[in-house]
Amino acid sequence: MKKYNFNAGPSILPKQAIDNTAKAVQDFNGIGLSILEISHRSKDFKAVIDEAEALFKELLDIPEGYSVLFLGGGASMQFCMIPYNFLEKKAAYLNTGVWAKKAIKEAKGFGEVVEVASSADANYTFYPKDFTIPSDADYFHFTSNNTIYGTEYRKDFDSPVPMIADMSSDILSRPVDVSKYAVIYGGAQKNIAPAGVTFVIIKNDALGKVSRYIPTMLNYQTHIDGGSMFNTPPVLPIYTAMETMRWVKEQGGVKEMERRAIERADIVYSEIDRNRLFRGTVAEEDRSRMNICFVMKDEYKELEPAFLEFATQHGMVGVKGHRSVGGFRISCYNAQSVEAVKELVKCMQEFEKQH
Ligand SMILES: *Cc1c(COP(=O)(O)O)cnc(C)c1O
């Protein structure tokens, strides 16, 4: 049976990127060796990392004066690298969910943290927008898409201080005004690559403002100076990232990714709102296009396991909601097809008829 992959991360990737990665694992560039067994300093791999960086810059229209890094450690490592490199006295954080909270926890180890707003009391069912960022903060940090709760803020805030965003789960799904940011980072395993590589887009002259010693591997300057090759980078995930970005470019770039994301999200949310059995879990204006969360209405709550079973039998994979929200979560990253979301909607309609 055909499988429809709605996993939240690691998650769906373009078939072309997977196929070409498989080829590179067998015989990379026709050199008679696997990409798994060559030096990261070989000219063949150097061409890969250079192209991945160039594509990132092109696709997001990244201005001069920024570096693109490919690091290990996941987005979670960035939760500590950010304050290590930027927090001298005080930082401002927006609390929009589990990942934001983890970032806040790390920052507290380095200085004062002001939580400018939080939707924790409402189980993160909306995205706070009315708040003031203190002008004496070293930076302002937010999570653009809340992978677990399914809320997303798709505009770029206006911040009086350097702005830093965790865009793990919505990077390359829409245009971003990178010039407004000091850092944009994320784990690549949601929209770009398999697990193992973290992207960091960083404004070079935003660095060098803290007085503490920064351990070499946690210092962004190390990785800028080394061109992400201070130590051995995650070679294979970087290769797939390059392939994914080639695909994004061929499809028409982030504008086209955005158009598709809107199309898919409209299909699923319309059905959630129409269907007698289901309801969405977050404020309508804050609904994520990447992670669509929904539950069964209270009077049908006991049907949730049955729907999960029904959807699974119809080839749907990864539709169970995160344990902190319950219900269902449909992840619709860049490589997700309209066909898949239509199949899901068919399942929802069929299930409604049966109950
Ligand atoms: C998945 C995710 C993370 C964690 O990424 P790791 O690479 O596993 O550390 C952080 N932030 C957001 C928004 C995520 O979706």
pLDDT, position 269: 98
Q: What pLDDT does residue 102 have?
A: 98
Residues in the chain, overall count: 355
Q: What six digits make up the tokens of 153?
A: 């803020």
Predicted pLDDT at 322: 95
Q: Given this model, what pLDDT does residue 134 score?
A: 98
How many whole angstroms from 76 Cα to the centroid of ligand 1?
6
Q: What residues in the chain have per-residue pLDDT under 70? A: none
**What spacing in Å lies between the alpha carbon of 187 and ligand 1's midpoint?**
6
pLDDT on residue 228: 97
Digit-coded pLDDT (tens) for 209-222: 999 999 999 999 99
pLDDT, tens only, 158-179: 999 999 999 999 999 999 999 9
**3-state SS, one letter per residue, for 3-54:** CEECCCCCCCCCHHHHHHHHHHHHCHHHCCCCHHHCCCCCHHHHHHHHHHHH
**In one letter, which amino acid is 142?**
F
Buried b (16+ CB within 10 A) or exposed e, 39-66: ebebeebeebbebbbebbbebbebeeeb
Amino acid 61: pLDDT: 98
Q: What is the pLDDT of residues 64-87, one digit of tens each?
A: 999 999 999 999 999 999 999 999
Do 12 and 19 touch, CB atoms closer than 8 A? no
Sequence letter at residue 315 = G
Rg (CA), the chain: 21
- Answer yes or no: is the C-beta of 119 below 6 A from any ligand 1 atom: no
61 Cβ neighbours under 8 A, 6+ residues apart? 175, 178
CB distance 9 to ligand 1 below 6 Å = yes
Hey, which of 145, 169, 173, 324 would you mutate to test ligand 1's pocket, going by the most ligand atoms within 8 Å of its Cβ? 169
pTM of the complete model: 0.98
Q: What are phi and psi of 206, to 5 degrees?
A: -80, -15
* pLDDT score, position 293: 98
Q: Is 99 in the pocket of ligand 1 (CB under 6 A)?
A: yes
From the CB of 168, is ligand 1 less than 6 Å away?
Answer: yes
| Burial degree of 213 (CB within 10 A; 0-12, 13-18, 19+) | exposed
> Which atom of ligand 1 lies closest to the CA of 78?
9
What's residue 276's pLDDT? 97
Ligand 1 atom closest to Cα of residue 167? 13
Cis peptide before 233 (omega within 30 of 0): no
Inter-axis angle of helices 253-274 and 338-354, to 10 degrees? 0
- Structure confidence at residue 159 (pLDDT): 97
